[in-house]
Structure formats: structure tokens, C-alpha cells
Structure 1
Amino acid sequence: MSTLTQEMKDMIATQQCFVGTVDADGYPNVAPKRSTRVLSDNSLIFSEGTGGATYENIKRGSKVSVAVVNRDILDGYRFVGEAILHESGDLYEQSAAMSVKMGMPKPRAVVVINIAEIHTLKPGPTAGKKID
């Protein structure tokens, strides 16, 4: 399992994250997930509100890729890992309450991503390279 640095955590907290999945035929899907945040040093979490392609792909077992970039400083990261859906329980209830408090509807599910790899999205010769 890979570990987030403070720099990565700060970027996730302040920049838009995009979540990538694939369907059963390998067709890619990318969606902005405004609720993406750090759950632990090794995991991310977001609320799945729409129940669309991202949700269906994760239900089917798709691995997940999360990209975040800060265009102002030309830096970014891609986090790759396994996703776990929570449609009930304490974690779901806590995250659902946070979503409602932020003016969003109660989510269909909460998704936890256990990070297996971290790649840099910094421009130049290291772009896309695995860093953890």
C-alpha cells in the first residue's frame, strides 16, 4: 500500500479530483468527484451521489484511478487502487451527513480507495512515472 505525503493531501484538499474506472468491455469513464478527500495516509474517500457509470463500474469490480493537478504550480498525482463501496454502516452515515451539511444530496454510496500506487503528473520526463 502506498502512502500519501502532506503535499499530496494538501493538493487533494484544494483541487478538483477526477476518478477513472472501466466497464466490463474496457471502455473508460472519467468523472469529477467534488467530495474526494483523504481518509487515511493510505486511502481516499468520496461520496457517490449519481449512481452512474463510476458507481456501476466500481460495483462490478473496476480498479480506480484518481487524478488531481494544480495547474498553477504545474504539479499533480495519479493514485491507483482498489475501491470498496459502503452503502450503509458508520462510515457511510458519517460521510452522508457531511454531504448533506455541504448542501449535496445524501449519497447512494461512499467509496473508499485503498491506494496501491502513486504516479507523478508533473510535466517533463518523469510524467506518469510511479513514485510509490
Structure 2
Amino acid sequence: MAKLTSEMKDLISQAFPFIATVDEDGNPQIGPKGTLRVMDDEHLIYNEETGRQAWHNLQANHKIAVAVHPYPGKIGLRVEGYATIYKDGPVFEAAHQYAVDNQLPDLIAAVVISVDRIVSLNAGPDAGTEIANEPVSDQFKI
């Protein structure tokens, strides 16, 4: 897997993230995920609370992208990876505790995103530059 630097982790914690998924017909969907946060150097996590479009899409296709770009700002990044869904166990319990600690709605599941590819969303000539591309397996290569 690709690794997030401390600067990237700081950016993710400061920006409001959006996730992108696709449905079974290949139609794209993008929306905010206010609970998205860094889990470790190689994973992001968010609490799935609504069970709507992104949740529906992840049932059929686990590929996912996260975009963060603080406004006003000239730096940003996109993380692409594979979503693993947890409905119980230690990962789910930690996400549940996060919801309790932050007075958030209860969650349907914890969604962990592997950091397989990182792309610059910086304004200017570096926009779209691939920073890292290390998928867990070619099966999940984006």
C-alpha cells in the first residue's frame, strides 16, 4: 500500500473530505463524509451513518476515492483505494466509540479505505500528478 506522509495526514484532518463511488451501472456519485479520518499510514476510515447512495454503491463495487482540498487553499490530494466494511469486531467498536465521543449518530458500519494510490490536487502545474501507486493487489488497482 501507499503511505500517507505526516503532511498528508494533517491535510486530511483539516479539510472537509468527499468520497466518490460508482453504482452497478457505472454512474458516479460523490458526497461529503464528515467522519472520514486517518486510521494509520495506509488506511482511512469513516463511519457509515446514512446507508444511502455511497453505501449502496460499496455493496457492489468496493473501489472508492477520497478528495480533500481545503478552501481557500492551493494544495489538495486524492486517495484511491478499496473499501472494507466492518459491521462488528474491534474496528467497528472503535468507530462506535468515535461516534459516542463526538456525539454523532450511531453507525451502520465502519468503512476502512486502503491507501492504494495518491494523486496531487494542488492548483497549478502539479495538478493530477501521481504521488504514489501501490495497490494491495492488481485486482484492486485503479
Name the counterpart of 1:126. 126
Does 1:95 find its partner at 2:106?
Answer: no
Contact 1:47/1:107 (8 A) holds in 2: yes
Cα distance in 2 for residues equivalent to 1:60 and 1:88: 20
The equivalences for 1:1-132 within 5 A come to: 1-132=1-132
Cα distance in 2 for residues equivalent to 1:74 and 1:125: 11
How far is 1:100 from its partner? 2.2
Deviations 1:70-119 (A, max 9, x none): 22331000000000000111110111121122111110000000011000
Contact 2:24/2:61 (8 A) holds in 1: no
1:114 maps to a residue whose letter is S
Deviations 1:46-90 (A, max 9, x none): 000000111111121231000001223310000000000001111
Secondary structure of the residue aligned to 1:93 is: helix
Q: Which runs of 5+ in 1 are unaligned?
A: none
- Give the TM-score normalised by the residue count of structure 2: 0.89
Cα distance in 1 for residues equivalent to 2:73 and 2:49: 31
Over the residues paired in the alignment, what is the CA RMSD in angstroms?
A: 1.0
Secondary structure of the residue aligned to 1:10 is: helix
Cα distance in 1 for residues equivalent to 2:101 and 2:7: 27
1:117 maps to a residue whose letter is R
- Give the TM-score normalised by the residue count of structure 1: 0.95
Contact 1:97/1:106 (8 A) holds in 2: no
Comparing 54-63 with 2-11, greater Cα deviation is found at 54-63
1:17 maps to a residue whose letter is P
Higher strand share: 1
